[in-house]
Structure 1
Amino acid sequence: MNLKELKTFLDSKAEIYNQPKFIGTDPIQMPRKFALKEDIEISGFLIATIAWGNRKSIINNGEKLLSIMGNSPFDFVMNYKLKSPKYEFVHRTFNSTDLHYFFQALQHIYQNHGGLEAVFERHQDEQFLMPAIYKLKQLFFELPHETRTEKHISNPLKNSACKRINMFLRWMVRKDHNGVDFGIWEKLSPAKLSCPLDVHSGKIARELKLLNRKQNDAKAVLELDKKLRKLDPIDPVKYDFALFGLNAFEDF
């Protein structure tokens, strides 16, 4: 396919899979339970943090997270105490120790750094949000913590694809006319978003010659971003729906 044909093909697939009917099987359903901006972004950040592995397990453990927070994430985080008991929680390698620190760190981000959106807005560059991901990790771990917990926020400067944070950013930033992504972070441009690169999107991207690099890492994300921005410079990560859907739901 030439560039025009590829764009037509992927535009049509993005339209098919960028639909609310798929929300019921996607972790994005969890923050959709809320109307308050801060509840959406805090629950979204935590759900995205555990969004690896079996989708059913992610959603089940996401429900446990919301229950722990009394279904009021922002109020819970802002009133969380250092000496609060550690809630029993395990999702793969993310455990109660990690969750206890994440509650403290989120409180720190909102009390001292203006909230999650402000961190990303303040530290973005002219083209990408990757520098802001790195800065978020720095600020997030300013408090005393166990080293093990650091692995749960990826670092693009260490060549991580940052799949889960890029997915979270897609949820928060992308202006979605179909009503899947929230688009509540209006001070950030969807044009700067990066594709949440994973085994599904990576496989299809390589088959469509959008990606040559074999590893799913930060360098691959940058390579894919450049190609997707040629297809749609305003909303490049809408193609995440197409790439994921072609592998997860079709025998492509």
Structure 2
Amino acid sequence: MNKTELKEFLDNKVEQYNNRDFIESDPVQIPHLFTKKEDVEIAGFLAATISWGKRPMIIKNCLLMMDLLNNNPHDFVMHHTNEDLEKLADFKHRTFNGIDLQFFITSLKNIYTNHKGLEELFAKNISNNSLQPAIHEFKKVFFEIPHPARTTKHVSDPLKGSAAKRINMFLRWMVRQDKLGVDLGIWKRISPSYLSCPLDVHTGNVGRKLGFISRNQNDAKALLELDTNLRKLDPIDPVKYDFALFGLGVFEGF
């Protein structure tokens, strides 16, 4: 396929998968449960954090997590007591456990109290038309308070070579202005053109078959290759092609 044919092919796949039917089988349904901005972004951040493994289990544990937060995540973050945190101790999703969740709640309170919230923190650290430096700065702030050493592995750092798939997915949910309603687009201070594709096994494999990625590893350098090529197809909304790559990989075995 030439570039025009490839773009037409992928645009058709975006149209096929970027619709509200996608929500019911995807963790993006968790932030869709809420309407208050802070609830949406906290629910989205926590859901994205545990989004690895089989999607039914991810969704089940996300719903459990929201229940533990009284289905009022911002209020829980801002007003929790030590007794409230104790109720989170038994939570577990793969290697993310109650210790990690307790610290995430504590750190989020610090961010909303002392850094004006998640959107402000990411928006002020964009560099070179990319959110990857902002993710690096976010991780520094996230762990600026005393924290368990084990928990640092649950926030990736693209400047240390990670593709940061889960945070990039969270940012897609918050930033992308999606007329079809999958991505929530509640953050208005960040351009969707700065977003990076959530790079995982499926998008990586499809990206290589389409010639977007030459590297074997799904790392920060591979993500830069993918982003560069997707921005050539659509410089305004490049990560819409995540739907095409993911759909081709997961649903079609491309």
Please give the range of the TM-score, normalised by the shorter of the 2 chains. over 0.9
The 1:82–1:135 alpha-carbon spacing in structure 2 relative to 1, beyond 3 Å, is farther
Match of 1:213 among 215, 227, 234: 215
Cα distance in structure 1, aligned partners of 2:172 and 2:16 = 18
> Shift of residue 126 of structure 1?
3.3
Extract unaligned runs of 5+ from structure 2.
none
Offset at residue 124 of structure 1 (A): 0.6
Stretches of structure 1 lacking an aligned partner (at least 5 in a row): none
In the TM superposition, what are the counterparts of 1:1-252 in structure 2 within 5 Å? 1-82=1-82, 84-87=85-88, 88-252=90-254
Question: Quick one: distance in 2 between partners of 1:85 and 1:118?
Answer: 29
In structure 2, C-alpha distance between the alignment counterparts of 1:194 and 1:131, rounded to whole Å: 12
3-state SS in 2 of match to 1:105: helix
**CA offsets, 1:20-77, max 9 Å, x none?**
0111100001111100000000000000000000111100100111001100010110
Q: Distance in 1 between matches of 2:240 and 2:147?
A: 36
* CA shift for structure 1 position 251: 3.5
Amino acid at match of 1:176: D
Work out the percentage of aligned pairs sharing the same amino acid: 58
- TM-score between both structures, scaled by the size of structure 1: 0.98
Q: Scaled by the length of structure 2, what TM-score is found?
A: 0.97
Query: Runs of 4+ in structure 1 displaced over 6 angstroms?
Result: none
Deviation per CA, 1:117-148: give whole Å up to 9, x if none: 00011101131000110111000001111100
Kindly state the Cα deviation for residue 82 of structure 1 after the two structures are TM-superposed: 4.9
- Match for 2:51: what amino acid? A
Contact 2:68 2:87 (C-alpha < 8 Å) held by counterparts: no
The question of whether the paired residues in 2 share the 8 Å contact of 1:86 and 1:97 is answered with: no
- The answer as to whether partners of 1:160 and 1:218 remain within 8 angstroms in 2 is yes
In structure 2, give the amino acid aligned to 1:127.
N
Aligned residue pairs total 252
Q: How far is the alpha carbon of 1:81 from its aligned partner?
A: 3.3
The residue type paired with residue 85 of structure 1 is E
